[in-house]
A and B are shown apart, each in its own frame.
Chain A
């Protein structure tokens, strides 16, 4: 059930100079979202920010009735949210959108995330851990401080591998190079990805080559989150050709095979 709820910031964790994990208190939201879903955030005290901003639910803790959002400063909306004082309130409309489907029985989940693209996978891996499953989590970033929350994934029993473009942590290079190695394993897999478009494109091509199912979470500019403004569309292939689907309603999690990447203008 979607609702619009006023929630207070209870804790702010700095993950890097420009990325924060923000914990908000809400009994209902902390329990009701599925991994991959998102919320539309409004800061009622910031009249200069008219439109809500979409954020993936990152994680939740039932025991203290909180959920968290991973926010990296990228513009005035994200900046304002990271500057919210403890106790400050935001309105969260959600949970919204599609969720990740769990892997088919017998398929090993492999997560490929770039930068803040790891946000939806904490909750996802928590669900896997509860089921006694372990995913391979491939985290990529420019530098070591872009590899957020890797200890959380490790604590959940996930097998974490990292890459940085500057070589400050893990493999020196791109996360898709880690994926190429992982794909050499001869076992059935299911891919889950979120991150910058060039990374997603590469992951999608690799998955297609090997015939591996691949779910992708796409971040788009959104006006309403409710399926009405049609601002957040993604071009997808259909049997009869193609159509724009709403990343807020049919997405944000799509089957990567359905996305018409060549018509996707977002560089991120």
Chain B
């Protein structure tokens, strides 16, 4: 094969030049990494979650390192939609990557109003709905844990915008398929999964929790196998595309999600650790496609081979 493999993907009508999307809450408002990351390798950016009004966020300490993971309780400190559109959106537009605006609310009406405001804003490719944040006391994960609530808020957002609507789901449910089907039925264009896993760490010397919020969300490589499983299960349940994420550090990790059923992937914690993750992963995917004679990466979505007999599995 002599032609370069096509790494671009189309998800819910949104064209991503690579399947690598910066996960919400890990890439600020898009421009922070311009000096150190290779933006050509980035297909999309999901901006930090926005409410109608600015929010102060949770008290520190807000983060803690755990084995292969990061625990956080930021509590959605953010600038509010007005300042976002005024100050952040003009610079985001110039980046040439697909912009997903992540929205949050403490009520169904707040989500709907944000969707209405974003409808028709130049440069917004889609709306990612945060119905899975473990660190806010109203809304957030409460919407994502209950299939009826998840459907209701999706429907409310759907009714107010022509943009693709992408609920971001929590892993903290018994049956991800039920929630995925509920939001699909309510008009979701795609789903993002997973958000962080509710988790906790304690300093035994002081007997105090590591985070002021006591409980936080776990991200990073520690959660990857859980996330891959959830993408796989959601794939069985719905037809809409999946943006998969959870501890991706390189192209092999990304491919796990893609083979399990993700049309594109998001990277978060690893971007903190190593800003070269975008270029490394993009180059690794291209190399994989060449080695496996894959012309278009998108053909690998859900291409899991279920038969594990006669496969050499060195470890």
Binding site for B on A (CB under 8 A): 1-4, 42, 47-52, 91, 93, 220-224, 226-234, 243-244, 263, 265-266
Instruction: Note all chain B residues with C-beta closer than 8 A to A51.
Output: 63, 65, 70, 272-273
Instruction: Determine which of B27, B62, B64 lies in contact with A228 in the assembled complex, contact meaning CB atoms within 8 Å.
Output: B27
Q: When the two chains form their complex, are residues A50 and B36 in contact, meaning their CB atoms are under 8 A apart?
A: no
In the complex, what's the smallest C-beta–C-beta distance from A247 to chain B, in angstroms? 10
Which B residues, 180 to 228, have Cβ-Cβ distances below 8 Å to chain A?
A: 212, 220-221
Q: When the two chains form their complex, are residues A50 and B275 in contact, meaning their CB atoms are under 8 A apart?
A: no
In the complex, what's the smallest C-beta–C-beta distance from A164 to chain B, in angstroms? 25
Among the stretches B53-61, B96-104, B236-244, the one at the interface with A is B53-61
Compute how far the CA of A234 lies from the CA of B62 in the bound complex, rounded to whole angstroms.
Answer: 11
Q: When the two chains form their complex, are residues B65 and A244 in contact, meaning their CB atoms are under 8 A apart?
A: no
Interface of A is mostly: loop
Compute how far the CA of A234 lies from the CA of B61 in the bound complex, rounded to whole angstroms.
Answer: 10
Q: When the two chains form their complex, are residues A244 and B273 in contact, meaning their CB atoms are under 8 A apart?
A: no
Q: When the two chains form their complex, are residues A221 and B61 in contact, meaning their CB atoms are under 8 A apart?
A: yes
In the complex, what's the smallest C-beta–C-beta distance from A31 to chain B, in angstroms? 17
* Residue contacts A-B, CB under 8 angstroms, 9 given: A4-B36, A4-B274, A51-B65, A51-B273, A52-B273, A221-B62, A223-B72, A226-B275, A228-B272
Contact A3 to B35, CB < 8 A, known contacts A50-B273, A51-B273: yes
B274: nearest residue on chain A (CB-CB)? A42
Q: When the two chains form their complex, are residues B36 and A221 in contact, meaning their CB atoms are under 8 A apart?
A: no
Question: Is there a chain A Cβ closer than 8 Å to B106's Cβ?
Answer: no
Compute how far the CA of A228 lies from the CA of B272 in the bound complex, rounded to whole angstroms.
Answer: 8
Interface of B is mostly: loop
Instruction: Note all chain A residues with C-beta closer than 8 A to B271.
Output: 224, 228
Question: Is there a chain A Cβ closer than 8 Å to B123's Cβ?
Answer: no
Instruction: Note all chain A residues with C-beta closer than 8 A to B233.
Output: none
Instruction: Note all chain B residues with C-beta closer than 8 A to A263.
Output: 59
In the complex, what's the smallest C-beta–C-beta distance from B313 to chain A, in angstroms? 21
A1: nearest residue on chain B (CB-CB)? B35
Q: When the two chains form their complex, are residues A50 and B32 in contact, meaning their CB atoms are under 8 A apart?
A: no
A234: nearest residue on chain B (CB-CB)? B60
Instruction: Determine which of B28, B35, B221, B276 lies in contact with A50 in the assembled complex, contact meaning CB atoms within 8 Å.
Output: B221
Instruction: Note all chain B residues with C-beta closer than 8 A to A221.
Output: 60-64
Instruction: Determine which of A3, A91, A228, A244 lies in contact with B26 in the assembled complex, contact meaning CB atoms within 8 Å.
Output: A228
Q: When the two chains form their complex, are residues A230 and B36 in contact, meaning their CB atoms are under 8 A apart?
A: no
Instruction: Determine which of A42, A50, A234, A243 lies in contact with B68 in the assembled complex, contact meaning CB atoms within 8 Å.
Output: A50
Question: Is there a chain A Cβ closer than 8 Å to B116's Cβ?
Answer: no
What are the 9 tightest A-B residue pairs by CB atom distance, in nearest-first order? A231-B63, A224-B272, A228-B28, A2-B35, A231-B62, A230-B74, A51-B65, A223-B63, A227-B32
Instruction: Note all chain A residues with C-beta closer than 8 A to B26.
Output: 224, 228-229
Instruction: Note all chain A residues with C-beta closer than 8 A to B220.
Output: 50
Instruction: Note all chain B residues with C-beta closer than 8 A to A52.
Output: 272-273
B68: nearest residue on chain A (CB-CB)? A50
Instruction: Note all chain A residues with C-beta closer than 8 A to B32.
Output: 226-228
Q: When the two chains form their complex, are residues A231 and B33 in contact, meaning their CB atoms are under 8 A apart?
A: no
Compute how far the CA of A178 lies from the CA of B218 in the bound complex, rounded to whole angstroms.
Answer: 45
The total number of A-B Cβ pairs within 8 Å is 101
Q: Among A222, A227, A244, find the residue whose CB has the most chain B CB atoms closer than 10 A.
A: A244
Compute how far the CA of A93 lies from the CA of B48 in the bound complex, rounded to whole angstroms.
Answer: 22
Given contacts A228-B48, A231-B61, A231-B72, 20 further A-B contacts (CB under 8 A): A4-B274, A4-B276, A48-B67, A50-B220, A50-B269, A51-B272, A93-B275, A221-B61, A221-B62, A223-B72, A226-B32, A226-B272, A227-B32, A228-B26, A231-B60, A231-B63, A232-B60, A233-B62, A244-B56, A266-B60
The proximity string for B residues 67-93 relative to A, scoring 1 for CB distances below 8 Å and 0 otherwise, is 111101010010000000000000000
Q: When the two chains form their complex, are residues B272 and A265 in contact, meaning their CB atoms are under 8 A apart?
A: no
In the complex, what's the smallest C-beta–C-beta distance from A150 to chain B, in angstroms? 31
Instruction: Determine which of B36, B77, B221, B272 lies in contact with A233 in the assembled complex, contact meaning CB atoms within 8 Å.
Output: B77
A224: nearest residue on chain B (CB-CB)? B272
Q: When the two chains form their complex, are residues B56 and A243 in contact, meaning their CB atoms are under 8 A apart?
A: yes
Instruction: Note all chain A residues with C-beta closer than 8 A to B25.
Output: 228-230
Instruction: Note all chain A residues with C-beta closer than 8 A to B275.
Output: 4, 93, 226
Instruction: Note all chain B residues with C-beta closer than 8 A to A48.
Output: 67-68
Instruction: Note all chain A residues with C-beta closer than 8 A to B61.
Output: 221, 231, 265-266
Compute how far the CA of A49 lies from the CA of B68 in the bound complex, rounded to whole angstroms.
Answer: 8
Compute how far the CA of A48 lies from the CA of B276 in the bound complex, rounded to whole angstroms.
Answer: 19
Instruction: Note all chain A residues with C-beta closer than 8 A to B69.
Output: 50
B64: nearest residue on chain A (CB-CB)? A221
Which B residues, 265 to 294, have Cβ-Cβ distances below 8 Å to chain A?
A: 269, 271-276
Q: Among A222, A228, A233, find the residue whose CB has the most chain B CB atoms closer than 10 A.
A: A228
In the complex, what's the smallest C-beta–C-beta distance from A55 to chain B, in angstroms? 16
In the complex, what's the smallest C-beta–C-beta distance from A56 to chain B, in angstroms? 19
B69: nearest residue on chain A (CB-CB)? A50
Instruction: Determine which of B64, B67, B70, B273 lies in contact with A42 in the assembled complex, contact meaning CB atoms within 8 Å.
Output: B273
Compute how far the CA of A93 lies from the CA of B59 in the bound complex, rounded to whole angstroms.
Answer: 26
B74: nearest residue on chain A (CB-CB)? A230
Instruction: Note all chain A residues with C-beta closer than 8 A to B272.
Output: 51-52, 223-224, 226, 228-229
Compute how far the CA of A244 lies from the CA of B221 in the bound complex, rounded to whole angstroms.
Answer: 29
Instruction: Note all chain B residues with C-beta closer than 8 A to A232.
Output: 60, 62-63
Compute how far the CA of A223 lies from the CA of B271 in the bound complex, rounded to whole angstroms.
Answer: 10
Q: When the two chains form their complex, are residues B74 and A229 in contact, meaning their CB atoms are under 8 A apart?
A: yes
The proximity string for B residues 8-37 relative to A, scoring 1 for CB distances below 8 Å and 0 otherwise, is 000000000000000001111000110110
